[in-house]
Structure 1
Amino acid sequence: MSGINKVILVGHLGKDPEYRHLEDGVAVASFPLATSEIVLKDGKRTELTEWHNIVLWRGLADIAQQMLTKGKLVYIEGKLKTRSFESREGVKKFTTEIVAENFKLLGRKTDFTSIEAFEPTKG
C-alpha cells in the first residue's frame, strides 16, 4: 500500500502572492498562510499562530494571482514537499512547503466584491 500525503489548511494570507514565470514559461505563485488556534496556557486563552509556505503552479498560480490578496481567508488542499537549495554562502538548506492542488476563497460575499457595489444609489 502506498502512503498518503494530504494537507488541508484554512487560514489568512500573510501577504499578496508573489507571482512569476520560470524560464520555461511555467507560472508559479507563493505566499505565507497563517493558521491560528486558541489554547489554554496558565489558565488564560492564548492564540497560537503557525505560518505555512504555500506554492501554486501553472493555471492555479494564474488564478491565485488574480483572486488572492493579503488577509483573505482561504481553504487550501495540497501536499507537503521538502526541497533543498544552496544559500548564497554555499550552505545546503531545506524548506518544507505545501504544494496546493486546490483552493477556495472563504468568507462573506462582501469580502470579494467592492463596497461600492452594495451602496444604494442616491437620488
Structure 2
Amino acid sequence: MLNRVILIGRLTKDPELRYTPAGVAVAQFTLAVDRPFSREQSSEREADFIPIVVWRQLAETCANYLRKGRLAAVEGRMQVRNYENNEGRRVYVTEVVADNVRFLESPNREGGASQGRDEFAGNSGNSGGGGYGGSSRSSGPRNSGNNNQDPFADDGKPIDISDDDLPF
C-alpha cells in the first residue's frame, strides 16, 4: 500500500506554530495548488486549498522561513482524522502530514534576480519518538531572463491580495 503526496503551491498565510503539552513543535499552513485546467467560460484557473501539518524541527523551520505567498513544495502523506465538536457532531479533517518541505523561492531575492531552493526534511510523525534527520540544500541562481511577470516577484513585501479573494 502507498500513501504519498507531492504538492507545489503558494502559502495562503504565514504558518501557525504551536507546541504540544509535551513540548513538541507543530506548524500548520494551507497551500494553494492550481488545478491543471481552467473553466471553459473564463481563463481563470481554479485552485485547491490543502491543509498541511509539519512536526518537530521541520515545523520550527517552516514557521521561521515560510511566509504568505511563498512558493513551496510539500512531500508527505494524506491523513484523515476525526473528533467530536462542541455540538456533539463528528467532524472529519483531511490534511497532508509533511515530512519534506522545499522552499522554491529564496527568502531574500533582490529584484527577482536570484532564486534559490532550500530543502528541509524531517521525521514528522505525529506521535511517539523519532528525531529530526534534517538536510538543507541550496542551488545557485536560476535564469532570470524570461519576461513573464511574476505577481510574487517582490518577495518579502506585502502582497496585494484582497481577503475576499481567499475562500476562508
Give me the TM-score of the superposition, normalised by structure 1. Answer: 0.83
Are 2:88 and 1:90 aligned? yes
Once the two structures are TM-superposed, the CA of residue 85 in structure 1 deviates from its matched residue by 1.1
State whether residues 38 and 46 of structure 1, in contact with CA within 8 Å, keep that contact through their aligned partners in structure 2.
no
Does residue 71 in structure 1 map to residue 69 in structure 2? yes
> More helix per residue: 1 or 2?
1
1:29-53 per-position Cα deviation (integer Å, ceiling 9, x unaligned)? 0011100135253364230110100
Residue 120 of structure 2 is matched in structure 1 by: none
Provide the identity percentage: 37
Moved more, 59-68 or 40-49: 40-49
Q: Please list the CA deviations of residues 47-72 of structure 1 after superposition, one character each: whole Å capped at 9, or x if unmatched.
A: 01101000000111011111111110
Which has the higher relative contact order, 1 or 2, with Cα contacts under 8 A spaced 6 or more apart? Answer: 1
Query: How far does the alpha carbon of each residue in 1:50-97 deviate from its partner, in whole angstroms, 9 at most, with x for none?
Result: 010000001110111111111100010000000001112121110000
Q: Which of 36, 48, 51 is residue 50 of structure 1 equivalent to?
A: 48
Decide whether aligned partners of structure 1 residues 114 and 8 sit closer, same or farther in structure 2, where only a CA change above 3 A counts.
closer
Structure 2 residues without counterparts, runs of 5 or longer: 114-168
Cα distance change of structure 1 residues 40 and 18 upon mapping to structure 2, 3 Å threshold? closer
Partner of 2:13: 15
- Structure 1 unmatched ranges of 5 or more: 119-123
TM-score by length of 2: 0.62
Structure with bigger strand share is 1
Contact 1:39/1:46 (8 A) holds in 2 = no
Instruction: State the AA in 1 paired with 2:104.
Output: L
